[in-house]
Structure 1
Amino acid sequence: MNTIVWQPTPVTKADRRRLNGHSSCVVWLTGLSGSGKSTIAGALELALHERGVRTYLLDGDNLRHGLNRDLGFSPEHRAENIRRTAEVAKLFVDAGIIAICGLISPYRRDREAARAMFEPGEFIEVFVDCPVEVCRSRDPKGLYKRALAGEIKGFTGIDDPYEPPIRPDVMVQTDRTPLRECVRAILHHLEQRGLLGASAQRAGERAAGER
């Protein structure tokens, strides 16, 4: 018999959003290793912070140093990695904060399971598209080199597949688009969704005018 009952809290997500002056959501960046997810996530968080938007960045590698350090890279462990990350992001969204998640998250079923945990419109899937050949040439952490040498098994893009989103909310192509434009595309989507609030919107308009 289930003895666990959900305990409601007196302060709601709507209350927290009003206090913050903007809505909340998760921006989920997915793509190959070396595609630019972490770079875009950091630049996006900085741009939102400068607009007065409350954010928190959940980097996949950083989470594997703590919350997900007991997980490997089997399909089952990847699914659990996504589930845990999405649960944490959901807490931030409930707190009225925009959570930015940068994870390879290679399988569609896992990303869709993550999306299903949020209310409609709260999960923004950003496909950081970049040809695997370009990612291999970048190889910022030396992982492709190690995978090609047989030192890493089950590496996405080498001996494990990546399933690109079919209908992402935003797609940026980092082999042909400058970082600033990639961030601008995501910000524009958030603005169109009305997620940033009036003050952040005005700050963005002022910044655009100064450019």
Structure 2
Amino acid sequence: MDIDQVRRDYLQGGLQRGDLAADPIEQFELWLKQAIDAGMQDPTAMTVATVNAEGQPSQRIVLLKQVDAKGFVFYTNYESHKAQDIALNPLVSLHFPWHALERQVKICGRAEKVSAAESLKYFSSRPEESQLAAWASAQSRPVSSRQLLMQQFNAMKEKFKQGKIPLPDFWGGYRVVPSSIEFWQGGANRLHDRFQYTRTETDGQSDWLIERLAP
């Protein structure tokens, strides 16, 4: 298959310094809302990149569940591959590929566990089947068949058929506290617009430096 000529131009619009909010979280929330309003499929889907003990990068797609001034939150099994990577090296990268709007957002930062109270609040808001799946799946570990996975799911369904399903002690959230956030808008002739916010500290005060990057 010949793919070297698969390309298109990006003509939906540019991005200027004056278009940007002073705070990158505010800018991100604006772009996220526009992605949702545009009817994009899975607008909260993001790639999470980690590095293991051997220095091997790994990526997977998860869903953003909260964003605020403190950072970007997602939930997972604390015994999964990504969690093991984070335990060794909490520096991670997030990526939002909003192709329909010819936009990308890249976030670099440090992942830290959210409180048990935050994890419980979110866990309790999930559909019951999703709560049971968290108990049934030993995420990232080999499983011999889907039949066995469904047996484990049904066993958890029977176990917790009375009352609320408790939060597993091996499941919870991570908050990625950003050190830099880049906003990318596609441009004609591959002259894309890129702006990077970098967190700076001056006299104990945190602020954001905004720079245009060459495409």
Shared fold, TM over 0.5:
no
Question: What's the TM-score, normalizing by structure 2?
Answer: 0.29
Larger radius of gyration: 2
Q: Which has the higher contact order (CA 8 A, sep 6+)?
A: 1
Looking at secondary structure, tell me which structure has more helix per residue.
Answer: 1
Say which structure is richer in strand. 2
TM-score when normalising by structure 1: 0.29
